[in-house]
């Protein structure tokens, strides 16, 4: 931020038009932990529409007051900052509840009546946003019933924008993702579907585009001539918690790599879009990156992938059980809790640049980071003065837990000796801008209300990402599948993951 400019005196952003938000699955964890706290923070910052209504909906029989009390507990516990009593009082007046079974058409007639009744007191036309905070098998029936009762409208004919937000997992493989896309498109136009990936709402992920295209010193270097390799790490120190039923059927590749990792990779490797205000152009370029990633042969799957499960160990000094001992996990499960991959974007810009990915549970610490390793400078000038090779310049983009960026450069060590050593130039959002980064759901909910799909995943991106991983799943499920290795909880993964990089002359960077 420029000197003398503060968040307090910047121009206010335009508020979205009047919006009615219906949250299906409103009695679930996501609503209390993320959605309502995010909306309250938007209200605290005065970003919500002047006319804004929320209707929570699920099978549970709750009154408006019951629902308000339930979600207020979530706001107190999970909001990133305290919400003032005055803001909560104003916000909660527009917070309502309507029971609805997603598969019963008559319930949608009652929902429609409630929506029309709540909107009747205003002369403004409300846009409708439906947030499907539930399992994918309910997406189709809910969309179909909404259309059947006239709650999904075409903007061109009514002037009302209707948007449907769906959570991951979006499919289990290529075929199921296509079927889910086709199911939704029976009731919705593609532009009405917002497939949410909360990683795309994180400030540092959004900043990738600004960093690349607003800084003249990096974009000329952003190609195979100057970049040696890239590492993307999504590491968690937690286990699977109460998600055993879901996780044991999916594993870390489906849970993390197919969505979060590949979305970050596509932004990192994107070609310049027509404009950063052109959502279609950005999504077109992201899809091109995913389409360009080389599909592996069975031999390459065995050479370039490592999968493993955590064994007993200790995390932060506390002993933890193995994956197979977690409650709800099949004792004979071969589900991956760790994966290491070597990928390559096979296009003109990136051909020959290895992209290494690692993701896992019960690792040494929680961190999500992208590291871009630039080619080493020739060391001929330093012969006789420098011991060993000069180190890579490394750009580090930390997504969580502390959002920021750093650049490792080489500098002369102080003193009479001519000794070169690496130093870090870095910034974090809280130190540099003086304000805490908003939660990802705050930005994404605001974008939906504005009708901006830039940070949401399009149907072809989803299908390309599943298509990319299909050869891996096929080999891993075959009779002669490579073994599921073991790693100690609290470590950085199995030795085979280190070997994957070592055979290419690289090593995992410390985190």
Q: State the catalytic residues.
A: 260
Give the closest residue to 129 by CA, choosing from 157, 89, 75, 165. 165
Between the two ends of the chain, the Cα-to-Cα distance in Å is 27
Kindly report whether the peptide bond that precedes residue 385 is cis, defined as omega within 30 degrees of 0.
no
d(CA 357, CA 364): 16
What span, in angstroms and rounded, lies between the C-alpha atoms of 241 and 101?
Answer: 28
In the block, residue with structure tokens 């598969």 = 103
Neighbours of 241 (CB within 10 A): 10
Q: Quote the CA–CA distance of 73 and 40 in Å, as a whole number.
A: 12
Q: Are 134 and 100 in contact (CB under 8 A)?
A: no
CA distance 24 to 359: 31
d(CA 167, CA 177): 13
The pair of three-digit structure tokens given for residue 465, joined into one six-digit string: 């990402």
Pairing type for strands 127-132 and 95-97 reads: unpaired
Residues 6+ apart with CB under 8 A from 233: 357, 358, 359, 367, 368, 369, 370, 371, 508, 511
d(CA 196, CA 461) in angstroms, rounded, equals 12
- Three-state secondary structure call for residue 37: helix
């Amino acid at each position: 931020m420029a000197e003398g400019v503060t968040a307090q005196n910047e121009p206010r952003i335009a508020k979205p038009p009047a919006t009615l938000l219906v949250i299906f699955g409103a009695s679930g964890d996501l609503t209390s932990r993320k959605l309502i706290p995010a909306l309250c923070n938007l209200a605290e910052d005065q970003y919500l529409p002047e006319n804004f209504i929320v209707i929570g909906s699920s099978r549970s029989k709750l009154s408006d007051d019951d629902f308000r009390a339930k979600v207020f507990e979530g706001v107190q516990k999970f909001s990133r900052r305290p919400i003032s009593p005055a803001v909560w009082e104003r916000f909660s007046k527009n917070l309502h509840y309507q029971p609805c079974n997603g598969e019963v058409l008559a319930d949608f007639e009652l929902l429609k009546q409630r929506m029309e009744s709540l909107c009747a007191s205003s002369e403004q036309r409300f846009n409708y946003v439906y947030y499907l905070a539930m399992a994918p098998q309910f997406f189709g029936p809910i969309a179909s019933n909404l259309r059947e009762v006239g709650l999904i409208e075409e903007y061109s004919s009514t002037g009302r924008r209707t948007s449907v937000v769906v959570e991951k997992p979006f499919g289990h493989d290529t075929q199921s993702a296509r079927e889910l896309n086709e199911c939704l498109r029976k009731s919705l136009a593609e532009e009405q579907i917002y497939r949410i990936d909360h990683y795309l709402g994180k400030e540092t992920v959004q900043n990738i585009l600004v960093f690349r295209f607003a800084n003249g010193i990096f974009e000329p270097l952003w190609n195979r001539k100057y970049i040696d390799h890239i590492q993307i790490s999504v590491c968690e120190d937690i286990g699977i918690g109460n998600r055993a039923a879901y996780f044991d059927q999916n594993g870390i590749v489906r849970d993390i790599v197919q969505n979060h990792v590949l979305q970050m990779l596509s932004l990192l490797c994107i070609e310049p879009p027509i404009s950063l205000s052109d959502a279609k152009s950005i999504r077109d370029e992201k899809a091109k990156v995913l389409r360009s990633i080389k599909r592996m042969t069975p031999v390459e799957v065995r050479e370039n992938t490592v999968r493993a499960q955590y064994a007993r160990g200790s995390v932060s000094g506390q002993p933890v059980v193995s994956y197979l001992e977690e409650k709800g996990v099949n004792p004979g499960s071969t589900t991956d809790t760790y994966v290491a991959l070597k990928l390559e974007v096979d296009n003109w810009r990136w051909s020959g640049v290895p992209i290494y990915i690692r993701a896992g549970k019960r690792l040494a610490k929680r961190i999500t980071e992208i590291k871009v390793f630039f080619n080493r400078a020739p060391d001929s000038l330093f012969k006789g003065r420098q011991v060993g090779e000069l180190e890579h310049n490394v750009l580090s983009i930390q997504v969580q837990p502390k959002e920021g960026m750093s650049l490792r450069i080489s500098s002369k060590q102080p003193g009479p000796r001519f000794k070169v050593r690496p130093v870090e130039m870095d910034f974090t959002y809280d130190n540099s801008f003086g304000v805490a980064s908003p939660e990802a759901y705050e930005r994404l909910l605001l974008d939906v209300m504005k009708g901006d799909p830039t940070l949401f995943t399009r149907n072809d991106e989803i299908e390309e990402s599943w298509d990319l991983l299909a050869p891996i799943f096929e080999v891993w499920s075959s009779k002669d599948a490579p073994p599921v290795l073991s790693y100690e909880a609290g470590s950085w993964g199995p030795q085979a993951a280190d070997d994957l990089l070592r055979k290419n002359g690289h090593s995992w960077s410390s985190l």
